[in-house]
Amino acid sequence: MATFISSSLQIIGDYRAELGETPMWCARSQSLLWVDILQQRLLRYWPDEDGRIEIHAMPPFTSAVLLTELAECFLVVSQQGIALYDYAHQHLEFFCAYPANAQGTRPNEAAIAPDGSLWFSSMDPQAKRAIGSWYRLNGKSDDVQHLTGNLLVPNTLQWVDDDIWFADSLHHTFYRATFQADSLNIQQEYPVSGIPDGSTLTTQRQLINSNWGEHCLTRYQISGAELQEVDRFDLPVSQPSCCTFGGSTLSDLYVTSASCGLPHPKAVDGGLIKIETTLTGSLSHQFKF
């Protein structure tokens, strides 16, 4: 039984995503943004404003909407390319094309690195072929770097000291890698049970992972090159997809989920979950121009 939960969980709002992903806490506005990849939607939730939720249309296969240095101007990662999104005017301005060598794929995981660059992955839309890759985009250039390939479903992206931790969901494996000479070099593999999807990191270097298809979260402790499972926490949704910390103290854990592929989805499948915890996350990095 997980010991990091301080109260019962909540299901936020009535929206049920086909494929909810990439929750991102905006400290400036005290709001949470996440996407429904298959329904081409951006959702935004203000917990301190009577639970207000706004929903905006997005380009096909938008997998992430991330922070930039500019207030209310977000970075959109989609199959059409990388764009800046003026939230107030709902205006998209594309400035970087989707990688030419990623044709036949769609974007999946995405995050801003500590240096302010964008990292994102690609995958086979049917999740059958190992044609996925990791890419990096420096805000001072419009050239996308190809970092590594031959992946099935690249997920999870966290930086710990000089290491980058990621997962390949359908290889049931976490990886520890380093970024050197414009490439991602895998140092060690960590096979796990189940399907590891998106993750978040605590200030104590604990990796909280959403276990797709297993209706639970798994907490791991990262200690140098070691990855050790600590405990698990059951969820009411069948397919938790990603998680992040938010709230004024960054101790509220938000978990996205998906209803796609379920023959008989429950009423809560695809919902956004909020869990009050005894843990603390860190502020998200911002894309630097």
DSSP 122: E
d(CA 259, CA 268): 9
Q: Which residues are identified as catalytic? A: 197
Give yes or no for a contact between 117 and 129, defined as CB atoms under 8 angstroms apart.
no
d(CA 195, CA 205): 21
- DSSP 3-state assignment of 169? helix
Of the candidates 61, 63, 70, the one whose C-alpha atom is nearest the C-alpha of residue 26 is 70
d(CA 56, CA 59): 10
Type of residue numbered 39: Q
209 labelled ligand-binding: no
155 labelled ligand-binding: yes
101 labelled ligand-binding: no
69 labelled ligand-binding: no
Write out the two tokens for 56.
């905006």
- DSSP 3-state assignment of 157? strand
72 labelled ligand-binding: no
Task: Detail the residues annotated as belonging to a binding site for substrate.
Answer: 106, 108
Q: Which residues are annotated as a binding site?
A: 21, 106, 108, 155, 197
Known binding site for a divalent metal cation: residues?
21, 155, 197
